[in-house]
Structure 1
């Protein structure tokens, strides 16, 4: 899952990015509204954490431009503006959630998880496919009640496939979900992650199939 943090306070932006990356998300940062609009025009994100008081362009104008361009990424407004009118305006423009600074980082993480579930059309925090379950709050997988010990990149890859189980996910979509601006993640690297994931899933009745020339999809290998 990929997140864009739009925040001109460098210390806060870097702190947020560190926390979210620690949870396994691919996170990018931009520090002004104009850069946010430019990035959002060419890159896909699942969630945008958006400050309102930005250089170059106000955060509400960034949001207005996003929605005018039919960009449906979930938007969490994070701002020092506490006026009721600002909150109403942001929500009316298409924001999905609103937090006032100062804020609790744990609460922000929880709200991001809710937005990601909503993006995937899911209501429950825990979902299952075959014998494998995914707890979206802890971003952990288990089978038969036993935790699957997966490296961070493989968790992100399996999460991307799990939330679209049975549907083909293109290689490019996978790369975009797993990599930030500074990550050099190639199609060959994705193939290596897929190969490792197949071995880990084999005992649990799931596999990652290849849609030749397109991407990958998660499939059951045995009735569950």
Structure 2
């Protein structure tokens, strides 16, 4: 079984994960966020204020609106009120320079789905967006596209590892490729050298333990007991294999 689900090679970009509309009066900030989210697989549009936001929404709906609170003219909180009053169903993720209980209460009180305080890591922003999307039934990944992997599931389009409670965490490109290699060869022992070639596109260096380290980290996320793995199994001196018969 392959994570790819279609003939696209692993390096081809997947379909857009969701439509994200960034509303911020600072062009450099918008561009930085847009470049990052675009590289992560999201379809991204930008707006500099409420008027541009309205024009963008007339052209097509957004799944998540990233809305800066502090903007000249109509601020983000006023925009949030207006959007909800007219029945806008997009997820609202507020961006604010104030990280305190009062601001959180104000932002969430304006029917925002979440908020994030500046400065923030772009990886955290992407995780917050994905969390908002998972709470929106129309944006949730179809169950048929989720691949069982032990007690977990893999969303190949979003490159997420989904726990039994429904929470998801990002997979790096190499970890994603590593799991894909193992899934495509169930019960087959793959040497460290071959796994390195398949996941990283290069031979394993003498004495290198990158594959062992990645497998150990993945076991902590996937196995009920990482010390006694039942899904990501190993054979001493030979390599690793995926056991699809592990109890889920």
- TM-score normalised by the chain length of structure 1: 0.56
1:11 equivalent to 2:28? Answer: yes
Report the Cα offset of residue 34 of structure 1: 2.6
CA contact 1:33–1:54 (8 Å) conserved in 2: no
What is the RMSD of the two structures over their aligned residues, measured on CA atoms?
A: 3.2
Structure 1: gaps spanning 5 or more residues: 148-224
- TM-score normalised by the chain length of structure 2: 0.51
Instruction: Measure, in 2, the Cα distance between the counterparts of 1:130 and 1:36.
Output: 33
Report the Cα offset of residue 127 of structure 1: 4.7
Match of 2:67 among 50, 70, 90: 50
Q: Secondary structure at the match of 1:3?
A: strand
Other-structure match for 1:34: 51
CA contact 1:37–1:62 (8 Å) conserved in 2: no
Other-structure match for 1:77: 94
Other-structure match for 1:134: 155
Q: 1:92 to 1:143 in 2, by over 3 A?
A: farther
1:146 equivalent to 2:184? Answer: yes
Instruction: Measure, in 2, the Cα distance between the counterparts of 1:69 and 1:8.
Output: 23
Q: C-alpha offsets along residues 179-215 of structure 1, whole Å, 9 cap, x if unaligned?
A: xxxxxxxxxxxxxxxxxxxxxxxxxxxxxxxxxxxxx
Matched residue count: 147
Of 107-116 and 127-136, the range deviating more from structure 2: 127-136
Instruction: Measure, in 1, the Cα distance between the counterparts of 2:33 and 2:146.
Output: 35
Structure in which a larger fraction of residues adopt helix: 1
Mapping for residues 50-199 of structure 1, pairs under 5 Å: 50-120=67-137, 127-129=143-145, 134-135=155-156, 136=158, 137=160, 138=170, 145-146=183-184
Structure in which a larger fraction of residues adopt strand: 1
Structure 2: gaps spanning 5 or more residues: 1-17, 149-153, 161-169, 186-248
